[in-house]
């Protein structure tokens, strides 16, 4: 979306919907560009409600509920379904998620026992962190542990998500893994496999370690038959390879729930 063009149009588009005594208004643009906080951290926008007050060829303008002079500008090409003018809507911009379906920025909860013997819940959240931990227990195999850490920490090609967020968005479920003893690492290579369901691929994905080359291979299979295999994948190329194979881009959509049409 052309932000400069939106800037030039917003004064005219918003003026009819703000009080006469209001000297200024604010707006946020929601397109395929991730949002950053004042500290430079990527953030995941919260859902919000509002009323569609205008539409252009490229944008849908929403006046935020309960705000006299606050608007949201939605990239029309990403909005689904597309509401008409006057509709009251609930907008869900993309937010990174964990494998349990919760937002990745949800605070972690831990139950502890106090000095009086009573349990209490501690919530922790690190600014700028939105982890998506693989549902795999701590492995004994060093190479499998490295693979888990790489998938959880390496960025996806879009630069906003990590590779595990990419897997969540592709519908990754039914995880399995091979955690061999050191003596069996060639006979039974360490690997992680999972099922995905996206518009690009539906089936089983396996990421396995190739000891001889100290690289990875990525396999796609369906109904027990191999569909494709990519060999000699360096660890920092895992995101690019997985994006090409299974990421359909639907995660970029701005989901809209139409509450009332007029």
The ranges assigned to domains in the chain are 3-95, 128-246
Expressed in angstroms, the distance from the first to the final Cα of the chain is 27
Cβ atoms of residues 256 and 76 within 8 Å = no
**How far is residue 167's CA from residue 97's CA, in Å, rounded to a whole number?**
10
Q: What is the pLDDT of residue 261?
A: 81
Q: What is the pLDDT of residue 2?
A: 85
Q: What is the pLDDT of residue 40?
A: 81
Among left, alpha and beta (phi > 0; psi -120 to 50; other), residue 182 is: alpha
Q: What is the pLDDT of residue 126?
A: 55
Report the half-sphere exposure of 160 (CA within 13 A, side-chain side).
18
Q: What is the pLDDT of residue 4?
A: 87
The residue ranges of the chain whose pLDDT is under 70 are 109, 120, 122-128
> Which fold does the domain 3-95 belong to in CATH?
OB fold (Dihydrolipoamide Acetyltransferase, E2P) (2.40.50)
Q: What is the pLDDT of residue 117?
A: 77
């Amino acid at each position: 979306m052309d932000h400069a063009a939106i800037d030039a149009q917003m004064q005219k588009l918003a003026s009819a919907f703000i009080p006469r005594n209001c000297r200024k208004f604010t707006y946020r643009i929601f397109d395929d560009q991730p949002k950053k906080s004042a500290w430079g951290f990527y953030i995941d926008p919260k859902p919000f409600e509002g009323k569609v007050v205008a539409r252009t060829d490229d944008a849908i303008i929403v006046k935020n509920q309960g705000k006299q002079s606050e608007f949201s500008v939605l990239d029309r090409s990403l909005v689904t379904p597309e509401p008409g003018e006057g509709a009251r809507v609930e907008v869900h911009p993309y937010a990174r998620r964990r494998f349990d379906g919760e937002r990745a920025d949800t605070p972690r909860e831990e139950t502890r026992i106090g000095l009086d013997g009573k349990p209490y819940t501690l919530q922790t959240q690190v600014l700028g962190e939105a982890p998506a931990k693989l549902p795999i227990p701590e492995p004994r195999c060093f190479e499998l542990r490295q693979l888990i850490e790489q998938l959880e920490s390496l960025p996806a090609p879009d630069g906003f998500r990590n590779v595990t967020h990419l897997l969540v968005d592709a519908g990754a479920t039914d995880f399995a893994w091979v955690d061999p003893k050191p003596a069996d690492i060639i006979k039974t290579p360490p690997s992680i496999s999972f099922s995905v369901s996206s518009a690009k691929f539906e089936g089983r994905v396996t990421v396995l370690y190739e000891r001889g080359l100290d690289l990875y291979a990525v396999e796609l299979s369906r109904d027990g038959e191999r569909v494709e295999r990519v060999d000699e994948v360096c660890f920092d190329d895992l995101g690019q390879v997985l994006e090409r194979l299974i990421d359909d881009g639907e995660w970029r959509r701005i989901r809209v729930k139409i509450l009332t049409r007029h």
